[in-house]
Structure 1
């Protein structure tokens, strides 16, 4: 239980941009380092949390639940949310105090690409774990072009892309 707390409290402080930004490290810690889950279990839990309504941090609760039952789920959720919430509160107070400082603006501008990079790294891991092939990339590219070039409702595009992927066996 202590290992769960320490692992997710540390990850909490790295979660610039939310839990999805640390998905790469959550995977590494859960699958590679501690071997709490297999790649397939991690992918399943991630898919479940994305399909469920609510915050993306739900994956942490499910990992804790898988490792140590209900207590593990509660503990990992608190460990992931607690430290970052305290840090965010402290930074908000400092940010108000130094709102006109150039350092504040530089830090804000610098953290945006960090968050984007962490999210892209996590997305790359998830794509790699699911075994996506070139046909999936083609469907994703065409779907993106349709999103950008038409006013078609996104749910229709997603439904058609999903059906096409099923039909093609991708």
Structure 2
């Protein structure tokens, strides 16, 4: 049954998704789009966009929307899809809750030891790798088009990608404003 699979899948993502929501995106995409094929790549991209625009952590938002969409795509009605949404969200959060309860006192006691400091130093590069993987996994023909299918859309997509990167990285423009600018540019240039 899809609810058990959703719970198991998102529990594992929550258990191994170091680096917060952005670090989980590549895991969520791999499981929901590639492994289980609950969502299409385009649906996942829309979910990521909506998850970034709505309040709350992106990983939890993505799990909520993925659970809903996966259940709805499986043929369930809206109420059952909402149950799928709740299942995925709860499963994603549960490992963190359990782990925090179990290790909070121990970690605080040994936080300044070299072993713990080295463990966190080893996790930092892995988190950066997960974020890079999430970005690279979203660079598909569905999101950028291709030079052979639609050269105009491909060029505009590359320009918007570069402009957004430069705007947020170097010019320190608020990412929310960059999303708005990209949406307006997409409406004007791709309509």
TM over 0.5: yes
Q: Is residue 99 of structure 1 aligned with residue 101 of structure 2?
A: no
From 22, 25, 32, give the equivalent of 1:20.
Answer: 22
Q: Is residue 130 of structure 1 aligned with residue 133 of structure 2?
A: no
CA-to-aligned-CA distance 1:136-159 (integer Å, 9 cap, x gap): 444544555555665777766665
- Paired residue total: 170
- Identify the structure with bigger relative contact order (alpha carbons < 8 Å, sequence gap 6+): 1
Match of 1:61 in 2: 64
Match of 1:70 in 2: 82
- After TM superposition, the score normalised by the length of structure 2 is 0.73
> How far, CA to CA, are the matches of 1:48 and 1:83 in structure 2?
24
Match of 1:121 in 2: 133
Structure 2 unaligned runs (5+)? 72-79, 146-153
- After TM superposition, the score normalised by the length of structure 1 is 0.81
CA, structure 1 residues 163+38, in 2 after alignment: closer, same or farther (shift >3 Å)? closer
Match of 2:47 in 1: 45
Q: Is the 8 A contact 1:15 1:84 kept in 2?
A: no
Equivalent residues in 2 for 1:29-44, closer than 5 Å: 29-44=31-46
> How far, CA to CA, are the matches of 2:132 and 2:188 in structure 1?
28
- Give how far 1:92 is off: 3.1
Moved more, 2-11 or 68-77: 68-77
Structure 1 unaligned runs (5+)? none
